[in-house]
Amino acid sequence: MARIAGSSGPRTEEAIRRAGLSLIATHGYAAMSLRQLAAEVGIQQGSLYNYFRNKQEFLFDLIRGHMLDLHAALDAALLPEGSAEARLTRFTEFHVAYHVERPQEVFICYSELRSLEPDNLAAVVAMRRDYERKLGEILDDGRATGEFHLADTRMATLAILAMLSGICTWYKPGGRLSTDGLQEIFTGMVLALARGETQALARGEAAETVAVPARRRGALRAGIG
Amino acid sequence: MARIAGSSGPRTEEAIRRAGLSLIATHGYAAMSLRQLAAEVGIQQGSLYNYFRNKQEFLFDLIRGHMLDLHAALDAALLPEGSAEARLTRFTEFHVAYHVERPQEVFICYSELRSLEPDNLAAVVAMRRDYERKLGEILDDGRATGEFHLADTRMATLAILAMLSGICTWYKPGGRLSTDGLQEIFTGMVLALARGETQALARGEAAETVAVPARRRGALRAGIG
DNA sequence: GTCTATAGAGAGATAGAC
DNA sequence: GTCTATCTCTCTATAGAC
């Protein structure tokens, strides 16, 4: 990635941001060296410190910035009123579109929580709780009105978010499905899940206990040492 | 973690395995140093090389070993015949139980794929494809028999696996729900999702385009430099 | 099989010239 | 704002005594 010599602060900052997102999403925060990052941007490693105080702060800025964007975008997209089904549909459409639009940032926000120092982690977790709460309220409302039949709205919240957020682990631009197509398919699945009401039927048919066998022995390379 | 001095190969091996799972699940492969690992086991860092040739091989052994266990356990648990609903129920019960039983290993198998070298990654991805295929066949069969009404069975496969595998990111032993309780709740949600058939209803109500706003400017720390 | 000691490479971060 | 140079630390991996 060649670079025009000379000063160009804002452009450099944006280039660092983009290169960082890409490198962290691909290799992980701990595995990305600042030398790699600088090379990708086309500057020297020491110059990075004009843009952050240390590597941890860089990660936190990326994640916090994304969370702020996400919340602002969600608040703008959500329906303030309407049926729970309509609101859940809107939530799902938004969530899918956002994940398709910025898969790297979303992925990092899940996968690099472990790399945040305690204070930074706490700040991000609080924002994430808030996001979960907004979905949880829709599900609770829908259960109260009888639109949804969920055994456990907290589990449903986690299940729906995991299902939708999984998109950023496999989505590639230019794939078989458009954003619209993905929204329609996932909206259908989420609504079906929330409407539920048929939980008990099939379970009796296969309700023997499913045991998980014990771990194999000698897991590490046999024959060494 | 104190240790009885002297030789004890098999016990040391198991201790390394367990400490490695814990450290990698907590901090990640790249962030775990072999000094940390050795300290956790109670041996010196150089001694680890009696148990693996290098750090990468250690990771691959952990992941491959887990995938072998997982496949063997799934094959033992799956119903060879029966309705698609019964087979999907059984699949879900198994998957939930396995994730509750070994959350660390499962988590590593998702989160550390990025840390595998190309050949090792290819081997693991192939095993994972096989696992997805087994779920995909159940969904296809159910759609053929009319038990399931899914717009896209490939998306449903990914969605169900993401939803179930998310368990290992938040499950802690001794929580509010037992394994049985989780199996029942998740089986209910998976079956409701698969039965579907109501996709188009609510969508018209909230079908305006949901736009994702542009990225904020100045994402990195303002005012530095 | 475990230990001590160390080689050799690469990491994050800083200083000062331009 | 960027560069070169370097400090200091930690990392993986190896060698050889016991």
Q: If you compute the radius of gyration of chain A from its CA atoms, what whole number of angstroms results? A: 22
Task: Scan residues 6-65 of chain A and list those with Cβ within 7 Å of strand C.
Answer: 32-36, 45-46, 49, 53-56
* Superfamily (CATH H level) for B7-51: Homeodomain-like (1.10.10.60)
Please report which confidence band the pLDDT of residue A209 belongs to, taking 50, 70 and 90 as the band edges: low
Q: Is the pLDDT assigned to residue A55 strictly greater than 70?
A: yes
Chain A partners of B102 at a C-beta cutoff of 8 Å? 212, 215
DSSP character at residue A30: T
Q: What is the mean pLDDT of residues A137-145?
A: 98
For residues B59 and B24, what is the distance between their CA atoms, to the nearest angstrom?
9
Interatomic CA–C1' length for residue A58 and nucleotide C14, angstroms: 18
Number of A:B CB contacts under 8 A?
263
Which residues make Cβ contacts (< 8 Å) with residue A195, sequence separation at least 6?
A147, A148, A149, B192, B198
pLDDT of residue A2: 45
For residues A110 and A114, what is the distance between their CA atoms, to the nearest angstrom?
9
- Decide: B64 and B148 in contact? Cβ < 8 Å: no
pLDDT, tens digit, for every residue of A8-29? 788 999 999 999 999 999 999 9
For residues B139 and B150, what is the distance between their CA atoms, to the nearest angstrom?
8
For residues A46 and A133, what is the distance between their CA atoms, to the nearest angstrom?
42
Q: What is the mean pLDDT of residues A111-125?
A: 98
Chain B partners of A206 at a C-beta cutoff of 8 Å? 79, 82, 86-87, 89-90, 93
Task: Scan residues 139-158 of chain A and list those with Cβ within 7 Å of strand C.
Answer: none
- Decide: A160 and B167 in contact? Cβ < 8 Å: no
pLDDT, tens digit, for every residue of A62-113? 999 999 999 999 999 999 999 999 999 999 999 999 999 999 999 999 999 9
pLDDT of residue A12: 96
Q: Is the pLDDT assigned to residue A198 strictly greater than 80?
A: no
pLDDT of residue A128: 97
pLDDT of residue B3: 53
pLDDT of residue B213: 76
For residues A216 and B72, what is the distance between their CA atoms, to the nearest angstrom?
10
Chain B residue with minimum CA distance to A225: B50
Percent over 70 (pLDDT), chain A? 87
Fold of A6-51: Arc Repressor Mutant, subunit A (1.10.10)
Please report which confidence band the pLDDT of residue A218 belongs to, taking 50, 70 and 90 as the band edges: low
Q: Which stretches in chain B have pLDDT values below 70?
A: 1-7, 198-211, 217-219, 221-225
Query: In the CATH scheme, what is the code of domain A54-197?
Result: 1.10.357.10
pLDDT, tens digit, for every residue of A145-173? 999 999 999 999 999 999 999 999 999 99
∠ CA B101-B106-B110, nearest 5°, is 165
**Tokens 């602060």 belong to residue:** A9
* Closest partner CB to A189 (pick from B87, B94, B159): B159
The overall average pLDDT reported for chain A is 91
Q: Do A184 and B196 touch (CB under 8 A)?
A: no
Q: Is B54-196 a domain of CATH 1.10.357.10?
A: yes
Domain layout of chain B by residue ranges? 7-51, 54-196
